């Protein structure tokens, strides 16, 4: 039975036999290391990050005594769930991400990560601590945004909808720019994507895989 550690664009955590291409965490341990099952908690702090699978040849016991390792199909999924790039293993991407936020928000310099994370935490959760989403016109959203339509999650790329699953994306489907969709990616993140941030895509999305943060 696979562990419950795969994150959906809604930010929920499920079990899946498919392998993710990125890891992350929500600030600490939200599982019982004896049973390797999640507790009722879904985060321990506002610092939700996305990480590389390999970094400095470090090895971890998944769902061991340390923080809870979470896995994502790709960075587009991680962003939709509310996870920003990690400053340790993805320093260039994280620096670019916050610099672009400063430009998007009209700030003279980028915010400290802790201040930024407080803004994002309010943006990714509604008053009941569930997933915050809002309605928008598809044509107004940047590539890399995840949306919800007809009971399915889709990523926007090059004028097409890509249906999401833990295993990868479906074939591209064109959409009308006036199509009304529910946006899953936090608004503060869509502002960063609109400023040119290039998230890492799963290979099933087609085209050359972008390297997170590079312009």
Looking at the DSSP bridge assignments, the partners of residue 42 are: none
**pLDDT of 1:** 83
The reported pTM is: 0.94
Residues sharing a CB contact under 8 Å with residue 175, sequence separation 6 or more, in sequence order: 138, 159, 160, 161
What pLDDT score does 215 carry? 39
CA distance 40 to 99: 35
In this prediction, residues 188-210 reach a mean pLDDT of: 89
**pLDDT for position 210:** 55
Neighbours of 200 (CB within 10 A): 26
pLDDT at 71 over 90: yes
Residues 26, 60 contacting (CB under 8 angstroms): no
CA–CA separation, 53 and 44 (whole Å): 21
Q: What is the pLDDT of residues 119-175, one digit of tens each?
A: 999 999 887 778 889 999 999 999 999 999 999 999 999 999 999 999 999 999 999
The full set of domain ranges for the chain reads 4-97
Task: Tell which residue, 87, 51, 78, has the closest CA to residue 67.
Answer: 51
């Amino acid at each position: 039975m696979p562990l419950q550690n795969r994150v959906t664009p809604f930010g929920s955590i499920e079990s899946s036999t498919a392998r993710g291409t990125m890891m992350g965490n929500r600030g600490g341990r939200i599982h019982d290391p004896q049973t390797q099952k999640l507790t009722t908690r879904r985060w321990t702090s506002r610092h939700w990050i996305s990480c590389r699978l390999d970094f400095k040849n470090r090895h971890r016991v998944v769902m061991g005594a340390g923080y809870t390792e979470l896995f994502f199909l790709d960075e587009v999924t991680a962003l939709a769930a509310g996870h920003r790039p990690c400053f340790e293993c993805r320093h260039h991407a994280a620096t670019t991400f916050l610099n672009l936020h400063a430009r998007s928000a009209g700030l003279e310099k980028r915010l400290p990560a802790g201040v930024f994370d407080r803004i994002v935490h309010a943006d990714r959760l509604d008053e009941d601590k569930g997933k915050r989403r809002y309605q928008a016109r598809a044509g107004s959203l940047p590539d890399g945004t995840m949306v919800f339509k007809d009971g399915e999650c889709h990523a926007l790329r090059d004028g097409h909808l890509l249906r999401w699953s833990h295993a990868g994306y479906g074939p591209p489907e064109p959409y009308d720019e006036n199509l009304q969709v529910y946006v899953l990616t936090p608004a503060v993140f869509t502002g960063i994507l609109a400023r040119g941030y290039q998230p890492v895509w799963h290979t099933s999305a087609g085209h050359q895989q972008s390297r997170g943060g590079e312009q």
